[in-house]
Amino acid sequence: MIKPTQTYSLVLGFLLMSVLGFSQSKKQQELEERRQALRTEIKQINELLFKDKTKQKSQISLIEDVNYRVNVRKNLIQVTNQQANLLTREINDNQNKITELRDELETLKASYAKMIETSYKSKSEQSRVMFLLSSTNFKQAYKRVQYLNQYANYQKEQGESIKTKTAELQETNTDLLRQKADKQKLIEENRVAQRELEKELVQHRELMASITKNLTNYTAQIKKKQREADQIDREIEKIIREAIAASNKKAGKTTTASSGFALTPEAAALAKDFVSNKGKLLWPVEKGVVKVRYGKQPSPLVPSVMIQSTGVRIATEKNAQVRAVFNGEVLRVISSKNGNPTLLIQHGNYITAYSNLSKIYVKKGDKVSTKQPVGEVFTNPANGETILSFSVFKETKTVNPAEWIYRM
């Protein structure tokens, strides 16, 4: 018979294994979601950046694209390795669990067999009657009746425990086989990904070797591109400052260096709604991959040259429509002498900026709603690239769009 202390230990061990199993299962699910997202991203990279081979890309664009795909592929391999390692731990846990369950099952069966043998020896009705009649008083007889009932119930419980443990053992065995199959599948997928990565790294090295021969020229191109981006940013900041001053003047307030928008109740409610949707905002294009992320970073072409990105650059498909990421009002359409138009949409004291457009469907003062088409992204006829520059401002300060747009 299993002692109470043994039962307590078994229950505690089962609970600890259950918690650990749940934790690992949740982590495995998170890794699988991340892996599928990276696979989708690689598929989109191939469709949006490498599909049209009739257009000759510049060396800068090509090295950016190859570098981007290499980094995503490395991330995919890393996440897949993490999944395989976690599965290895889960497999080991299940193998240990199977051993423990078998031991528990043997203990339960031995205890049950002993009870059955004891019951068989004293199973006659006469033995039971004599056991009761030999009581010295009514109270003792009553307790003996209770004991017989409890013993019968315990026999039944032990039988049910054996059934439960047997089913649990079978289920764990099934899980183990599935985990081994999943791990093998991940290993095979990683082998394929590793071969693709090796090809891409060869291409990357060849491109970098050709660029090194004319490094001065490419460095100048990067810096020129940065100056053009900085000019657009300064123009956007100037327009936002003018809008802040106008809102304060209308509200009868004096504008200072630290002034923000003087919001009407409706604008304040819109800003609050905008903030409450942080991390859930719509992508500004239906299909796209982020080629350049927010913040200061080394150029993928010339790592010694730093670039400052106040937003993100999204590669998308030809004739892609731009969508308002949230309800708002068109603040301004900026026409650039050296570049393509930029659209600014105001959401209370937040502004979203959409640059490098070929068409704009709205005008200053128009109310727009979430997902409403507001323009079209410009496609470079020389190389076939369709790139949208997208930024988010709080007052005049930029914030990271990836923290606002869903799964960016």
* Burial classification of residue 342, based on how many CB atoms lie within 10 Å of its CB (0-12 exposed, 13-18 middle, 19 or more buried): buried
Asked whether residue 396 carries a pLDDT value surpassing 90, the answer given is yes
Classify 327 as helix, strand or coil.
coil
Nearest to 323 by CA among 401, 399, 376, 393: 376
Phi, psi of 35 (to 5 degrees): -65, -45
Q: Is 382 left (phi over 0), alpha (psi -120 to 50) or beta?
A: alpha
Other CB atoms within a 10 A radius of the CB of residue 15 amount to 10
Asked whether residue 364 carries a pLDDT value surpassing 60, the answer given is yes
Tokens of 207: 């491109």
What are 292-307's pLDDT values in tens digits? 999 999 988 888 899 9
Domain ranges of the chain: 4-212, 229-403
* pLDDT on residue 126: 47
Distance CA 346, CA 11 (A): 59
Distance CA 8, CA 114 (A): 22
* pLDDT on residue 175: 80
What is the average per-residue pLDDT within 274-287? Answer: 97
* pLDDT on residue 277: 98
Asked whether residue 6 carries a pLDDT value surpassing 60, the answer given is no
* pLDDT on residue 336: 77
Lowest mean pLDDT among 122-131, 142-151, 183-192, 234-243: 122-131
Predicted structure pTM score: 0.73
Residue in the structure block whose two tokens are 């997202």 = 37
Distance CA 354, CA 238 (A): 16
Q: What is the DSSP string of 194-208?
A: HHHHHHHHHHHHHHH
The larger pLDDT score, comparing residue 229 to residue 121, is at 229
What are 159-205's pLDDT values in tens digits? 677 677 677 777 777 888 888 999 999 999 999 999 999 999 999 99
* Confidence at 148, pLDDT banded by 50, 70, 90: low
Nearest to 321 by CA among 367, 379, 280: 379
* pLDDT on residue 303: 85
- State whether CATH 2.60.130.10 applies to domain 229-403: no
Q: Provide CB contacts within 8 A for 351, sequence distance 6+.
A: 236, 240, 331, 344, 345, 392, 393
* pLDDT on residue 279: 97
Q: Which helix (H) or strand (E) holds 363?
A: none
What are 235-262's pLDDT values in tens digits? 999 999 999 999 999 999 887 767 899 9
Distance CA 316, CA 379 (A): 9
Q: For a pLDDT cut of 90, what percent of the chain falls above it?
A: 55
* Confidence at 2, pLDDT banded by 50, 70, 90: very low
Asked whether residue 392 carries a pLDDT value surpassing 90, the answer given is yes
Asked whether residue 380 carries a pLDDT value surpassing 50, the answer given is yes
Nearest to 334 by CA among 401, 239, 228: 239
How high is the mean pLDDT of the chain?
85
What is the average per-residue pLDDT within 73-96? Answer: 90
* pLDDT on residue 317: 94
Q: For a pLDDT cut of 70, what percent of the chain falls above it?
A: 81
* pLDDT on residue 273: 98
* pLDDT on residue 61: 85
* pLDDT on residue 1: 46
Distance CA 359, CA 138 (A): 100
Q: Are 362 and 251 in contact (CB under 8 A)?
A: no
The larger pLDDT score, comparing residue 137 to residue 227, is at 227
* Burial classification of residue 406, based on how many CB atoms lie within 10 Å of its CB (0-12 exposed, 13-18 middle, 19 or more buried): exposed
Nearest to 274 by CA among 344, 349, 364, 329: 349
For the chain, what is the largest distance between any 2 Cα atoms, rounded to a whole number of angstroms? 112
* pLDDT on residue 118: 62
Q: Provide CB contacts within 8 A for 77, sequence distance 6+.
A: 190, 193, 194, 197
Distance CA 115, CA 74 (A): 61
What are 316-334's pLDDT values in tens digits? 999 999 999 999 999 999 9
Nearest to 29 by CA among 73, 78, 87: 87
Q: Are 403 and 278 in contact (CB under 8 A)?
A: yes
Nearest to 7 by CA among 114, 155, 147, 158: 158
* pLDDT on residue 119: 59
E strands, 132-254, are none
